[in-house]
């Protein structure tokens, strides 16, 4: 039996959860303000995005818009707070997806900035691209980690630091 799209999304979140958490729990709070280049995000900002994406998915499953201006910016003081934020976000995303059907995901979802629509697509497309967006930023995070000699976990395959997969 083929998965429904909703089932598939839940499985993808489960598949990505472990490696993502392993990255986040290795981000030392004393390096939160470090950035590898003037034009880069700092390590905390990038880590917060990685921890936050499942929360975007909750909004997409349950609501009809995210307005960037109203988005509650999470500012962790410690690694533990960062990881706790991620744990809560991923749990919430899985729960909210478990309450919707593929038909529900055919509805439109809007990304806005101060009320102005920047982008509209179906909930399905928004959730799907959010998962890929999440993978993208976690990929960036692994380079930041390497530059600061933080061991990079095996993600889809072995890293130079961890062969076990």
Report the nearest approach of another protein to the CB of residue 2 (Å).
Answer: 6
Q: Which is nearer to another protein, 63 or 158 (CB)?
A: 158
Q: Tokens for 124?
A: 């399905």
| Least spacing, CB of residue 89 vs another protein, in Å | 18
Among 8, 29, 45, 110, binds another protein (CB under 8 A): 8
In the list 5, 10, 31, 84, the residue contacting another protein (rule: CB under 8 A) is 5
Least distance in angstroms from the C-beta of 92 to another protein = 21
CA separation for the pair 103, 93 (Å, rounded): 18
Phi first, then psi: give them for residue 111, nearest 5 degrees: -100, 125
Contact 96, 109 (CB under 8 A): no
**24 close to 47: Cβ distance less than 8 angstroms:** yes
Q: Is 135 in the site for another protein (CB under 8 A)?
A: yes
Paired with 122 in beta bridges are: 108
Encoded one letter per residue, x for contact with another protein by CB under 8 A and - for no contact, window 72-111 reads ------------------------------x---x-----
DSSP string, 68-130: GGGS-----SSHHHHHHHHHHHHHHHHHHHHT--TTGGGSEEEEEETTEEEEEEEHHHHHHHH
CA dist 12 and 106 (Å) reads 19
**Near another protein by CB under 8 A, which window of 23-31, 75-83, 91-99, 116-124?**
116-124
Contact set with another protein (CB under 8 A): 1-3, 5, 8, 12, 16, 36-37, 39-40, 102, 106, 113, 118-119, 124-125, 128-129, 132-133, 135-140, 142-144, 146-147, 155-157, 160-161, 165
């Amino acid at each position: 039996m083929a998965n429904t799209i909703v089932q598939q999304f839940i499985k993808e979140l489960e598949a990505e959860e472990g490696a993502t958490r392993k990255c986040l729990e290795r981000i030392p709070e004393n390096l939160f303000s470090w950035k590898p280049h003037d034009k880069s995000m700092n390590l905390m900002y990038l880590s917060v995005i990685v921890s936050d994406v499942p929360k975007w998915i909750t909004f997409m499953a349950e609501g009809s818009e995210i307005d960037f201006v109203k988005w509650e910016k999470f500012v962790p003081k410690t690694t533990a707070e960062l990881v706790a934020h991620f744990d809560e976000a991923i749990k919430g995303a899985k729960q909210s997806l478990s309450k919707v059907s593929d038909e529900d995901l055919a509805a439109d979802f809007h990304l806005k900035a101060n009320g102005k629509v920047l982008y509209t697509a179906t909930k399905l497309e928004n959730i799907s691209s959010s998962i890929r967006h999440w993978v993208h930023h976690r990929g960036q995070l692994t380079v930041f980690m390497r530059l600061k000699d933080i061991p990079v976990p095996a993600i889809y395959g072995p890293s130079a630091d961890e062969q076990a997969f």
